[in-house]
C-alpha cells in the first residue's frame, strides 16, 4: 500500500487563547480540520483554573495542544508573550502533551467580526460576551494551526 493510500489516524486538538482574566478554549480534529469554541476558563487570582483545564482535557482527549502566541502588529512579541509561553510550558509539564504556539495576531478581532455576522444573519440570537470572543479566538487560532501555522513551543 502506498503511503498516500494509508488511512490517516484522526486526532483531537485543544487550543487556548491565553488571557489574564479568561482563557478561550476550542477543540477540533485533524480529519475535518475544523474548530469549535468551548466554554472559556476563568483565570483565578492564583492563575489559570487548572482543574477546569484538566476537566476539558479529560473530556476531549487531545493528542496535542495549541496556544496563541501574542504578537504586536509589527511582529514583535506582545506584552503577554512571556506569560503565554509560561502557560504553554506549564501545560506541557502538567499534562505531558506536545504544545504548539501559533501567532494569534488579530484572532480576537476576526472572532468578534464572525460572531457579529452570525448574530446579524439571525444564526446566533444570544448577545456576544467577552467569553464568547475569547473561545471563538481560540477556534481561529486552531484553524490557523490546521492550516499549517505554528511551531513547537
Domain boundaries, the chain: 14-152
Q: Is the confidence at residue 51, as pLDDT, over 60?
A: yes
- 42 and 22 in contact (C-beta within 8 Å)? yes
| 56-100 per-position pLDDT tens digit | 999 999 999 999 998 888 888 888 999 999 999 999 999 999 999
- Measured in degrees and rounded to the nearest 5, phi and psi for residue 27 equal -130, 150
b/e sequence 19-56, b meaning 16+ C-beta within 10 Å: beebbbbbbbbeeeeebebbebbebeeeebeeebbeeb
| 2-34 per-position pLDDT tens digit | 344 344 678 899 999 999 999 999 999 988 899
- 141 and 128 in contact (C-beta within 8 Å)? no
For position 124, what pLDDT does the model report?
58
Using the structure block, give the residue that is written with the C-alpha cell 483545564: 53
Cell numbers linked to 143? 484553524
For position 4, what pLDDT does the model report?
43
CATH number for the domain running over 14-152: 3.30.420.140
For position 25, what pLDDT does the model report?
95
pTM: 0.83
Of 36, 37, 16, 27, residue with least CA distance to 87? 16
Q: Is the confidence at residue 132, as pLDDT, over 80?
A: no
Average pLDDT, stretch 95-110?
A: 87
Amino acid at each position: 500500500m502506498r503511503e498516500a493510500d494509508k488511512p490517516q489516524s484522526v486526532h483531537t486538538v485543544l487550543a487556548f487563547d491565553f488571557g489574564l482574566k479568561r482563557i478561550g478554549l476550542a477543540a477540533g480534529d485533524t480529519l475535518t480540520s475544523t474548530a469549535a469554541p468551548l466554554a472559556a476558563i476563568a483565570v483565578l487570582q492564583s492563575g489559570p483554573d487548572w482543574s477546569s483545564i484538566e476537566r476539558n482535557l479529560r473530556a476531549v482527549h487531545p493528542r496535542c495542544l495549541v496556544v496563541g502566541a501574542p504578537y504586536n502588529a509589527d511582529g514583535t512579541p506582545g506584552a503577554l508573550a512571556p506569560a503565554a509561553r509560561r502557560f504553554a510550558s506549564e501545560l506541557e509539564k502538567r499534562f505531558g502533551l506536545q504544545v504548539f504556539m501559533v501567532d494569534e495576531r488579530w484572532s480576537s478581532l476576526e472572532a468578534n467580526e464572525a460572531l457579529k455576522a452570525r448574530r446579524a444573519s439571525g444564526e446566533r440570537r444570544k448577545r456576544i460576551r467577552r467569553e464568547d470572543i475569547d473561545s471563538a479566538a481560540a477556534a481561529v487560532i486552531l484553524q490557523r494551526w490546521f492550516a499549517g501555522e505554528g511551531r513547537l513551543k
